[in-house]
Structures are given as structure tokens and as C-alpha cells.
Amino acid sequence: MGEILDIEAAMNRLGQYLGNKLSQGDGSAAAAIAAGFVNASILFCSGAMAILGSIQDGLAADHTTLFAKATLDGLISLILSANLGIGVILSALSVGIYQGSITLLAGVVGPLVTEPMLAEITASGGIMIMAIGCNMLKISSIRIGNLLPGMLFAAVITALLP
């Protein structure tokens, strides 16, 4: 599904657009900003804390998981920024939209998410985080953005299996 929608290309286009605006037309700087934006967005949106924390926030106004996630993400973003540059901070846009959407839809989504589904989402997210590491080390060139629907499919398949 991700390959059909080419999510990675759309994220790269958005990152490139933001990079062009911030770098005043310097192509290599824009590419670096786009890479930071894409990698950080995928990293920060693929964990269970983003989903579970947003659901808790939407259903019970319990912000503790999101506060813990924000602290962890802040520390990780400092480290990522040293490697990927200023584009990492732009991932706050995608994280805000992603977590905000889940929070707003928590009344619908929350009751449907079970522990096994959350475990499969977490496992899928962990594999994507490993793939980000492989890409950063130049071991591979995996289009991780195109794998994002895999988290949803893992949850749906888990819900359908007895």
C-alpha cells in the first residue's frame, strides 16, 4: 500500500519544500533538511507511545505518556540533529498532526486497540527504527516511509486472527 501511495516520495517532497524555504535555494542543504525531516518524522511517529499516549490523552485527558514521549523525543532529537541537521526540528509538524489526529479520533480508535494489536504495532515500528539505522549507516537504502501502512495492517491482521 505504501509503495502504491509512494508515501516516502510525498514526505521527501514536503521535506524538500521546507528545505528550499529554509536554505534559500541551496540544493544540498535542502536535501539534508529533507533527510532530517523524513527520518525524524518516521522515528517519532512509529512508536507505541505515540499511539497509546494519544489515545490516553483523547479518552481520559491523561497526558503523562505524551509528556514522557516528548522528553525522550527531545533528547533523541538533540542527538539526531548532530547527524541530520536542522530538518529534525521540522518533524514536530508531522508528529503534531499524527498525534493530534489520533487524540481527536481517540473516541473511535481507542476502544478498538487491544494489547496484541499494540504489540504488533510496536514490533512493526521497531523494525522501521532498525531500518532507519541501516539507512543512516549507509548499509541499505530502504524506503521506510512506504512501510508506514504496515503498522496499520499489522494491527488489522492481529484483530482479524483468533
Cell numbers describing residue 25: 535555494
In this prediction, residue 131 carries a pLDDT of: 87
Q: Give me the pLDDT at residue 68, please.
A: 92
Q: What is the pLDDT of residue 28?
A: 80
Measure the CA angle with vertex 93, ends 9 and 55; round to 5°: 105
Domain residue extents for the chain: 2-160
Position 103 confidence tier, pLDDT thresholds 50, 70, 90: very high
For 52, the enclosing helix (H) or strand (E) is helix 48-60
Return d(Cα 24, Cα 4) in angstroms, integer. Answer: 32
Residue 91 neighbours by CB under 8 Å, 6+ apart: 36, 37, 40, 41, 43, 44, 77
Q: What is the pLDDT of residues 15-72, one digit of tens each?
A: 888 888 887 767 788 888 888 998 899 889 877 788 888 888 988 888 998 999 999 9
Quick: pLDDT tens for 126-156.
Answer: 888 888 888 888 898 888 888 888 888 998 9
Q: What is the H or E stretch that residue 92 is in? A: helix 87-104
CB atoms inside a 10 Å sphere around CB 91: 25
